[in-house]
């Protein structure tokens, strides 16, 4: 069965990079040694720098990753990986590169066979059927919006309730309502910062001290907390 750890964000305000989820990541990947890191969401800094930044944090819990850009054959790297971690950044760029290297199908196949997958922000977005609920600007045009389609629902990372003073535009909730109006059969999980969804043994649950806001056309918006069942999100007949 699939093992997914889908994290809203890498860093909470005032904390060191990856400090809040790194122990969860360590516990999740277990004894995995060959951990491939996908840095393709990086835009304003290099893949090498991204890999280094992740390793500087994860080495504190005994983990080390190797960027997929260092492999001569990226598909072979996925085939031989014990676990895959995908970092945040720009989701459109990430998806463009995954399609460019033809990694969507190999990744999906390996994860569906039980390889642990960890993603934060854009890396969580790509576990969904499409990238349509990302917050990012479309700075590039991917071959398609198709992503890994590991779960049947969509995630909106960094979900915010705030409507800043002086802001007359749409709130995050209104943007998600627009998505639901044209995708009425799909749940959307508004994943607040400092939280993550963990899927294992065919079940999925929330980790973190903040609630997750759930949207679906025809249902009143509601919240789920850590410890409550989230398995309804996996219902493909919803």
- Residue 158 is a catalytic residue: yes
Is residue 97 classed exposed, middle or buried when 0-12, 13-18 and 19+ CB atoms within 10 A define those classes? buried
Distance between CA atoms of residues 64 and 56, nearest Å: 9
Domain count, the chain: 1
Read out DSSP for 171-209? -HHHHHHHHHHH-TT--EEEE-TT-EEEEETTEEEEESS
pLDDT 10s digit of each residue in the chain, 238 long?
Answer: 899 999 999 999 999 999 999 999 999 999 999 999 999 999 999 999 999 999 999 999 999 999 999 999 999 999 999 999 999 999 999 999 999 999 999 999 999 999 999 999 999 999 999 999 999 999 999 999 999 999 999 999 999 986 666 665 678 899 999 999 999 999 999 999 999 999 999 999 999 999 999 999 999 999 999 989 899 999 875 5
Catalytic residue among 8, 10, 57, 121: 121
What is the predicted pLDDT for the residue at 167? 63
| Element of type H or E holding 67 | strand 65-67
Buried-state track 181-210, b at ≥16 Cβ within 10 A, e below 16: eebeebbbbbbbbbbbbbbeeeebbbbbeb
Q: Residue for token digits 């600007």?
A: 137
- Residue 100 is a catalytic residue: no
Domain containing residue 227? 4-234
What is the predicted pLDDT for the residue at 236? 72
- pTM of the predicted protein model: 0.96
What is the predicted pLDDT for the residue at 163? 65
Distance between CA atoms of residues 89 and 169, nearest Å: 24
Distance between CA atoms of residues 226 and 206, nearest Å: 5
- Strand segments, DSSP code E, in 87-195 are 117-120, 154-157, 188-191
Which are the contacts of 113, defined by CB distance < 8 A and separation ≥ 6? none
Q: List residues bridging with 196 in a β-sheet.
A: 7, 207
What is the predicted pLDDT for the residue at 170? 79
Distance from the first to the final alpha carbon of the chain: 21
What is the predicted pLDDT for the residue at 206? 98
CATH number for the domain harbouring residue 111: 3.40.50.880
Count CA atoms within 13 Å of residue 236 on its CB side: 6
What is the predicted pLDDT for the residue at 166? 63
What is the predicted pLDDT for the residue at 238? 56
Catalytic residue among 8, 57, 124, 136: 136
Distance between CA atoms of residues 54 and 235, nearest Å: 34
- Residue 185 is a catalytic residue: no
Q: Residue for token digits 């989230």?
A: 230
Phi first, then psi, for residue 87 (nearest 5°) are: -85, 170
Distance between CA atoms of residues 39 and 27, nearest Å: 22
């Amino acid at each position: 069965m699939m093992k997914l750890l889908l994290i809203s964000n890498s860093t909470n305000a005032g904390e060191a990079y990856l400090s809040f989820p790194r122990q969860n990541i360590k516990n999740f990947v277990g004894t995995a040694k060959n951990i491939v890191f996908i840095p393709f969401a990086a835009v304003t800094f290099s893949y090498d720098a991204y890999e280094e930044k992740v390793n500087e944090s994860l080495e504190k819990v005994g983990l080390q990753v190797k960027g997929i850009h260092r492999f001569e054959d990226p598909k072979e790297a996925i085939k031989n990986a014990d676990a895959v971690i995908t970092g945040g950044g720009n989701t459109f760029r990430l998806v463009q590169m995954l399609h460019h290297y033809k990694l969507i199908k190999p990744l999906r196949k390996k994860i569906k066979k039980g390889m642990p997958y960890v993603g934060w922000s854009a890396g969580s977005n790509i576990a969904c059927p499409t990238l349509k609920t990302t917050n990012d600007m479309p700075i590039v045009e991917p071959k398609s919006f198709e992503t890994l389609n590991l779960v049947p629902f969509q995630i909106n990372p960094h979900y915010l309730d705030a409507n800043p003073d002086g802001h007359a535009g749409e709130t995050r909730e209104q943007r998600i309502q627009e998505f639901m109006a044209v995708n009425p059969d799909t749940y959307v999980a508004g994943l607040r910062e400092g939280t993550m969804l963990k899927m294992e043994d065919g079940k999925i649950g929330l980790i973190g001290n903040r609630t997750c806001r759930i949207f679906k056309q025809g249902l009143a918006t509601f919240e789920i907390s850590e410890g409550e069942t989230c398995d309804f999100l996996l219902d493909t007949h919803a």
